Chain A
């Protein structure tokens, strides 16, 4: 029985490790410092020769904006859930968040394209991408924030209220000090999710080249995800493929760093 379980579990353990090693191996030819900062020759070039810091900063900028938009809304949903919602409303909120998490991101991208890019005339822009990403991560962030607040012992909430604390004081003096690490874990996971999304921002926010740094929130941006997507299609150009693998390693590194931070924070919290 034990051997059978090991046999079944082994692929699950080994496959991600092999995949990771394979991606790093493929990226090795292009992975050097000049890939990130560019060289004297390539600084004015676009596409495969573009310095990768532009794509990295574009991805991070969009992720941060999305989190800045989603966080206060997620917190409001969680506070409504904890302070005001009755049992039926709580059930509705949980069901709604589950349903929203199940919607394919490309559908959000399509809605963003129609509503934000065309109807509101925002164009392909950082703002449109950040709003769509914020909507995508909102259910995950809200669920994590609700979960963080639910983990606070009822006795502490009751005792604080029995001492005459207002709901605002309860939030600032009891809930946040108790739940900050769980909330931060949720935020880090949402950041990783925002960095992983490609389809929605392809429709709404990013271009392959021609942009170094957006002039305003209504300017398009470049991103690692878009970079990989376009370079991977240039099958005849080995350099482009190498850069695509290298970009994938960088993206993977960013996503993993957020996920691992969340993992260790959760361990810290459990102890």
Chain B
């Protein structure tokens, strides 16, 4: 692993052209133990760019992300990726989860080295192919390479929380996903880590759709082209970022923006 930095940074992940994915939800509903979590949610994602999902706690934002990669399966309605129903995903739900990867709010690194964490989700065969280049490229994309390049064999738990979150991003990118789902990726991170993750996301969003749940409205303004506002399990308003923050159409949106601490100008 130590000779990694000597190797060329050949764009390993670009060996196959990114397959642009479009995601469409129709009438998605979720009820868990008699509690309605999502109600008739319909939305679609552009082929690239960042969409931020905002709303008060308990609005169903995280549950929506879990439905999208089938970590939550008890929903009704339809979710389609490239006009393919995800419940009938040809290669099965494990393959779907590599296609549409979810990064959780709390970084969870596995008790192995930093390098092994990056390639953790890959098959045995994939792990053996161009391993060093793959690790380097993913860590670079997650803006972590410079900080860890001399200690790739160290346990990942030695990293700070911000670095662990970026490691989780690198681990997800190693799967070459076509859609990225992020559940409050920068909550409880220091400003520097937040800045680095946001920069990485902006670059990644050039080639794939990124759906990001956030409570940080300033971040939503900085990052996204499109805002989806949810409340009580329903999509209240979908608008481009500038319009939403300057002239929200719905009363609930206006109330939410008024009560949040963010300066929306």
Number of A-B contacts (CB under 8 A): 50
> Which of B3-11, B168-176, B226-234 lies at the interface?
B168-176
Q: Is the CB of B94 within 8 A of A165?
A: yes
Question: Residue-by-residue, is B92-125 near A (CB-CB < 8 Å gives 1, otherwise 0)?
Answer: 0011111001111011101110000000110000
Q: Which of A153, A161, A163, A178 contacts B171 (CB 8 A)?
A: A163
**Chain A interface main SS type:** helix
Say whether A216 faces chain B, with CB atoms less than 8 Å apart: no
Which residue of B95, B104, B120, B171 contacts A158 across the interface (Cβ within 8 Å)? B104
CA distance A153 to B111 in the complex (A): 12
Measured between beta carbons, the chain B residues less than 8 angstroms from A161 are: 71, 97
Number of interface residues of A (CB under 8 A): 16
Q: How far is the CB of A151 from chain B (nearest CB, A)?
A: 13
Q: Which residues from 103 to 153 on chain B have a C-beta closer than 8 Å to any C-beta of chain A? A: 103-104, 106-108, 110-112, 120-121
Contact present for B97 and A155 (CB under 8 Å): no
Chain A residues within an 8 Å CB radius of B253: none
Q: Is the CB of A174 within 8 A of B69?
A: no
Q: Closest approach, in angstroms, between the C-beta of A61 and any C-beta of chain B?
A: 36
A111 to chain B, nearest CB (A): 39
Least Cβ–Cβ distance between B147 and chain A, in angstroms: 21
A174 and chain B: residue at smallest CB distance: B110
Closest chain B residue to A87, Cβ basis:
B33
- The answer to whether B108 touches A155 (Cβ under 8 A) is yes
Convert A149-181 into 0s and 1s, putting 1 for each residue whose CB lies closer than 8 angstroms to a CB of B: 000010110111111111000000110011000
Given contacts A164-B121, A164-B175, A165-B121, contact A159 B98 (CB under 8 A): no
Give the residues from 65 to 81 in chain B that come closer than 8 angstroms, CB to CB, to chain A: 69, 71
Q: A158-B71, A178-B111 are in contact. Are A163 and B97 (CB under 8 A)?
A: yes
The residues in B between 168 and 203 inclusive whose CB is less than 8 angstroms from any CB of A are 168, 171-172, 175
Are the CB atoms of B108 and A156 closer together than 8 Å? yes
Residues of B near A159 (CB, < 8 A) are 104, 108, 110, 168
Smallest CB separation, A88 vs chain B (Å): 11
Residue from A158, A162, A166, A174 within 8 A of B101 (CB atoms): A162
Known: A155-B108, A158-B71. 20 other contacts (CB 8 A): A153-B108, A156-B110, A158-B104, A159-B104, A159-B168, A160-B110, A160-B120, A162-B69, A162-B97, A162-B102, A163-B97, A163-B98, A163-B121, A163-B171, A164-B94, A164-B101, A164-B175, A165-B94, A166-B94, A174-B110
Question: Could you name 19 residue pairs across A and B whose Cβ atoms are closer than 8 Å?
Answer: A153-B108, A155-B106, A158-B108, A159-B108, A159-B168, A160-B110, A161-B97, A162-B69, A162-B101, A162-B102, A163-B101, A163-B121, A163-B171, A164-B97, A164-B101, A164-B175, A165-B94, A174-B110, A177-B112
